[in-house]
Amino acid sequence: MTSQDSIINKTVVFVKKTLANVEGGHDWFHTERVYKNALLIAKKESVDLFIVSLGALLHDIADSKFHNGDDTIGPKIAKTFLSGIGVDSSVINHVVNIIENISFNSSLSVNNKTETFKSTELDVIQDADRLDAIGAIGIARCFNYGGFKNRLLYNPEIKPNLTMSKAEYKASTAPTINHFYEKLLLLKDKMNTQTGQQIALERHNYMLGFLEQFYNEWQGVK
């Protein structure tokens, strides 16, 4: 076993323990799926697999949604952990930058500015994370989180807000169905890699079929 393998194994143990009691859509199994998809996408990209592995495993170590919207906690936890097991500072900095810039809300404007850090490793992990937000699992995660926050399933009188700022997005309490239009259906066109785009198209179409069925059932058509 190489030193990198040992670090990855220690990271897996740390993430499993840290995420043991979090909401089901952001638990270890979500991280594991993102990790596996990141490695799959990375096969066709020129990337540092060690950074991809660590970034994927630590990308949701402290999602701001569960920490009063604080985006700084996750990067701090990751940096402290990686420093403690002797990871090189350049790798740590790259992983921290990935965590700080991976989320959908990082692409939304803050005082008319958006995040500027880019790397191929971030592209790969971001695609893997976004893939887990769409398709069948994406639908399941969406409603699981909506239930966790005690949100309405749907209210025809509350229309999706398609022009939200980062602050508005993070503060939103809209019905779960609105989230499809405010985020999930937008992800297909935000994929960075060709592999991500190919997988996203199938999952996007699955969500469209789900929404059609949902509205038919809501209206008593089927």
pLDDT in tens, 207-218: 999 999 999 999
- What's the pTM? 0.91
Q: Is the pLDDT of residue 108 over 80?
A: no
Question: Quick count: other Cβ atoms within 10 Å of Cβ 212?
Answer: 11
Q: Do residues 178 and 160 touch, judged by C-beta distance below 8 A?
A: yes
Q: Can you give the pLDDT at residue 110? A: 47
**157-194 tens-digit pLDDT:** 999 999 988 888 888 899 999 999 999 999 999 999 99
Whole-number Å distance between alpha carbons of 110 and 88: 31
- Residues recorded for the chain: 222
Q: Is the pLDDT of residue 79 over 60?
A: yes
Q: Nearest to residue 175, comparing CAs of 131, 136, 214, 204?
A: 214
Q: Is the pLDDT of residue 44 over 60?
A: yes
Mean pLDDT of 100-108: 76
Mean pLDDT of 120-135: 98
% residues pLDDT > 90 (the chain)? 80
Q: What is the dihedral of CA 143, 148, 150, 156, to 10 degrees?
A: -20
Residue 216 DSSP one-character state: H
Q: Can you give the pLDDT at residue 105? A: 67
Whole-number Å distance between alpha carbons of 148 and 24: 9
